[in-house]
Chain A
């Protein structure tokens, strides 16, 4: 008799545990307000990324097309993957001295691991992260970016 009681108890307890699980899924089924899906490409306009989000490295320019990069090459040394390459040139300043400045700040997005060492190590805060995250392109060559805009110059007062 005891064994039959145990048998039935086992069956009923098992069914009860299953019902508890069904309660969880069932309650979610009947409460569509808890749906977490974000319809991504449709909500693109409303999408706000966090300020610190590491999208890609950019070089902020002001309205006069000036940047802060002196071409010192510290970011190039600090980059673990060799995704930054700086091609510098010598220019003559107004008072006639020769000075080193960047020609091209090449940034290979395809090799970047977003470790933020370049941004953090830059002595003149010339680099920053943008919140752009849609990096997909059809051609790998497009992932090699030149960060300084054409015709840009070093900001006054940055050494």
Chain B
């Protein structure tokens, strides 16, 4: 009954409906007040959390399905192939068919495996990526939780996935898995540093860790243009190290198909494997959207100085489209890397981090601080 009242409140909308696409806070505030009128603050919060949870879950599944399809199509076109083309027009339902297959596949129990940890591992991996998605601003006002330490939160939470990977490798009682997990541990721990430092470069420029303010600061120009040289270097480093952090090629040593068959998830089948698979793609989506938010202006449209006509045209494109476009641009770059380069060896991977990325990054932070201090940024 109360929900009906809330719904009635929401339906009385003061602005034209399409305004919502430019400022989602209109809708969210409306829902909030509607719910407040209908029920107590406690139940309001619970209902809101439920709604957001369901929405994120839906979004998660949809994006995961789409990314798998996109990856297969992108790699197919790069390899002179057609890619999936049988299920549905252009094979768009291929991933759904795969999902159904994965759901129906038998879950093979492993002898002498640590049953509890074995079953726990995929959940840890997927929860880590699930938590990170909460802090990402999708559009103007479409932001589950706007932490004032958003950048720090995302770094911290996304690093949690490595525990799942380590557990998976250790508990499956498989030598290949163990090697894969150990590689992954070494890799993620080192590349965390670069990811963090690359983001700190931008935090220096922005002067805040809150995602909403970082985006707002880019209203007059994206950070990659504002911070010119150091920001561009930071962007490149972020791309490399975040690719490594998500265990994607050319840094996919943890699963290294030609060396370790499938690395840490060799022994997983069915839906548990699907969790790892989905988490990999969602991690890619998360790092891509952070790159888009921090370097490419998030949902901010592309503005050029005083070209007011051009800027107003750009403003007509809804923020959500901008955000998705930028994110997929970064994702495309990462796919392009994966399908072009051969894999690194574990010692080269660590050499790249400690001998190349880290020194460059440290110098870059200093340069950025200097640029900000002297006011040389735009």
Contacts and interface: CB of A to CB of B under 8 A. Distances in A.
A92 interface: no
Nearest to B352: A14
Interface stretch (B49-57, B136-144, B333-341): B333-341
B264 to A, nearest CB: 27
A29 B81 contact: no
A134 B82 CA distance: 23
A19 to B, nearest CB: 10
A34 to B, nearest CB: 6
B45 interface: no
A11 B81 contact: no
Interface residues of A, number: 15
A37 B339 contact: no
A32 B356 CA distance: 37
A39 B82 CA distance: 9
Nearest to B332: A29
Interface stretch (B58-66, B72-80, B100-108, B183-191): B72-80
A36 interface: yes
A25 B333 CA distance: 12
Contact of A29 (B74, B337, B341): B74
Contacts of A28: 77-80
A139 B74 CA distance: 40
A34 B82 CA distance: 10
A74 interface: no
Nearest to A41: B86
Nearest to B77: A29
Interface string A17-53: 0100110111011001011110100000000000000
> Would you call the interface of chain A mostly helix, strand, loop, or mixed?
helix
Interface in A1-24: 11, 18, 21-22, 24
Contact of A25 (B81, B85, B336): B336
A22 B340 contact: yes
Contacts of A22: 336-337, 340
Nearest to B336: A22
Q: Quick one: which of A26, A29, A36 has the most chain B CB within 10 A? A: A29
A35 B74 contact: no
A32 B77 contact: yes
A32 B80 CA distance: 7
A38 to B, nearest CB: 9
A18 B336 contact: no
B82 A35 contact: yes
A35 B340 contact: no
Contacts of B79: 28
Contact of A39 (B77, B85, B336, B341): B85
Contact of B81 (A21, A26, A37): A37
A28 B78 CA distance: 5
Nearest to B360: A11
Interface string A89-106: 000000000000000000
Contacts of B360: 11
Contacts of B340: 18, 21-22, 24-25
Nearest to A20: B340
A25 B356 CA distance: 26
Interface in B290-343: 336-337, 339-341
B232 to A, nearest CB: 13
Given A18-B341, A21-B341, A35 B81 contact: yes
A45 to B, nearest CB: 18
Interface of A: 11, 18, 21-22, 24-26, 28-29, 32, 34-37, 39
